[in-house]
Structures are given as structure tokens and as C-alpha cells.
A = this chain, B = another copy of it.
Amino acid sequence: MSAGKVILALDGMGGDRAPGIVVNGADIARERYPGTTFLLFGDPAKLKPLVDKRKGLAQVLEIVAAEDAVLAEDKPSFALRRRRKSSMWLACETAGQGRADSVVSAGNTGALLAMSMFAMRMIEGTDRPALASFVPTARGESVMLDLGANIECDADNLAQFAVMGSVFAQVLMGLDAPRVGLLNVGSEELKGHEELRQAAAWLRREGVPLSFQGFIEGNDITSGAVDVVVTDGFTGNIALKSIEGTAKLYTGFVRDAFRTSTFAKIGYLFASGALVKMRKRVDPRRYNGGVFLGLDGVCVKSHGGADDVGFAYAIGVAVDMVRYEYKSKLVEGLAKLREVTSAAEAGAALQATGGAT
């Protein structure tokens, strides 16, 4: 895989509106990211007519037949055992074998997590992938992880997530030293869990390859106080969905406000251009593309309900991760973290021994 040339394995059958959004998303991405080629897995009878409709797409896209598909209701363990002929598995396997640089799927999240782990394995020193995504903030956007892949996390996991997220922000946002914060309850008297305090202590050590800003609170996520928000999968999932729910609530409030009176309706006519711009700013499609970080490969999960444009954004995340060598940068970062934390643990053990004598 030469520089600039990226091969993506696309799960053609995953997502509420597959295969249409996958084919059309690839067509949008093809123009946006020249040099990208696609292996599209799925039912050729369904895929070929769609590809043929998009002029020029067939030149950069090859359909690979898959006779089965993972269903939305499949349990991950079932999918992993019984869906070995599915488009999702074949795409993951192809990436795992190095015949593609990345997988992109809008299918069943749990199945994709299981399959990508099994097909690509983890980078040395990480246990399970963390799900990362962008969130809109007052300053632009930030990265948040884990969003639900790891319900119970220890200090080690959190410190690893911090490195994963920092490298991700470097690569995807072009930041030299992304500011990283650990999500906690802020008040002095309401200190967080022990894992958080230990992770913070490690991340504050000299030599840790990131710019750690300490603890942040829930309201700091959307204020953009940091570029990377690190948390366990339980808290991250609930924080992200709370943000999404509130965004929806406010969008509804604004819509309602312009319907209340004739004056308001006239106001809408004048302000509609500005309001459309505002909607673009918070368009959830721009934040599509959750990534499983920590894999020995690149796997991007598009939202199941994504449309063409949303799926193209997810493809863009995969392209950038490959092109800017996310994986090798993460391997470096994790190795440095391991050095620092092992030294800290050895020091603590020595001290404990010293104290006992």
C-alpha cells in the first residue's frame, strides 16, 4: 500500500438503508479522496445495478460476492460463529489479512466489534478496542472515547484510551499536542472513582506522550475545554447520548419557536439562511464515523441510520486514519506509556518494600 493509495473494504449490506448509502457514499468519497479504491462486499445482484448507476465508480470499486449478511438483531457471539459468509465478516477478514487498509460498516455495532477484534487482533498491550467519535463543541469539535465498548474500565484502560484519543486527534484534526482531559465529577468533595485518580496520576508523569489537562466535567465536553475527552464506556455512552438528546430537544424548541406566530414565521423567512448554516454546524452527519481504536488495523463504524453523506464522512475518517498512519503512531505512543507506567509501578513496589522493612 503505497503512500496516498488507500484500499477500503466496505460492508455493502450493513445499515438501515444499505446497500444504497454504501454505494452512494463511496461515490461521494471517491471524488473527495482521490487515490482511494474500494472492495464492496455483498450481494452482487443488489450491488451491481447501484454501482452501474454511478458513472466512474466501477473504475475504483470491485464487488466481492458475500452470500450472507449480519442482521441488526444478531448477538455478537452468534454473528462471529455463524456469519462467516457475511459481507461484514469478509470485509473484516480482508482487512485483517492486509488485503485492505480499513473496514467501514454501518451494520450491527456489537458484531462489528467482535468481528474486527477477531480478524484484526489488538495492538500489543491493549485489551479491547475503545469506541471513539467526534462531538460538536463551541470551538469546533472534540474526540470522545470510550463510547460503550468497555463498560468496566481500570486505570490502565483509561490511560491507554488517553493515548489512543490523543493520537487520533493528532491524525484526524491535525493538532500537534491535543489537550486531553479525564471526565469526572468536579467538586472537591465529590471525588471520582479510584481508577480515575490512578489514571490521572499516571498521565501526569513525565514522559507520557500527551498533553494532559487533568479532570474535566460534563459541561466541559461541549465547551471544547479539551480536544480529547477520556472516560469509561458506560459514562461515555450516557454522556454522548445525553448530548445528542439535548441537541434534538433544542432543535425542536427552535422549530417550535418559529411556528408560534405569524411574526415568527416572517422572521423565519429572513433568518432562514442563517438557520440553515446553524443546522449545518451541528449536522450529525458531520460527526458520523465511530472508530474502534486499539485494533491492529482500522475499523470505522458508521451510524446505522446514516445517509449517503453521512456514510461518506465515515469513509473519510477511515481514509485519514490510513493515510496519516494512525496505527504506527499509536504503537509508538502506547510503548512510551508502558515505559512510564511500568517505571511508576516498579517505583511504587520498591517504596512499598522500603516501607515494610
Contact = CB atoms under 8 A, between A and B. Distances in A.
A4 interface: no
Shortest beta-carbon contacts, A-B, top 4: A218-B241, A267-B271, A267-B270, A110-B189
Contacts of A174: none
A188 B75 contact: yes
A269 to B, nearest CB: 7
A98 to B, nearest CB: 28
Contacts of A234: 185, 192-193, 235
Given A223-B248, A261-B274, 14 more contacts: A110-B189, A185-B237, A217-B241, A219-B244, A219-B245, A221-B242, A242-B246, A246-B250, A257-B275, A260-B277, A263-B274, A266-B270, A267-B268, A267-B274
A62 B282 CA distance: 52
B245 A247 contact: no
Interface of A: 75-76, 109-110, 113, 136-138, 148-149, 151-152, 183, 185, 187-193, 217-223, 231, 233-235, 237-254, 256-258, 260-261, 263-264, 266-275, 277-278, 281-282
A278 B257 contact: yes
A243 B235 CA distance: 13
A193 to B, nearest CB: 7
Contacts of A191: 151
A264 B274 contact: yes
A238 B218 contact: yes
A339 to B, nearest CB: 31
Contact of A222 (B137, B235, B246, B282): B246
A245 B220 contact: yes
Contacts of A250: 246-247, 250-251, 254, 282
Nearest to A114: B189
Contacts of A238: 183, 185, 217-218, 231, 235, 238-239
A246 B223 CA distance: 8
A148 to B, nearest CB: 5
Nearest to A254: B254
A152 B192 CA distance: 9
A274 B263 CA distance: 8
A253 B239 contact: no
Contacts of A148: 185, 187, 190
Given A190-B110, A271-B257, A249 B138 contact: yes
Contacts of A260: 273-274, 277
Chain B CB count within 10 A is highest, among A223, A240, A264, for A264
A249 B137 contact: yes
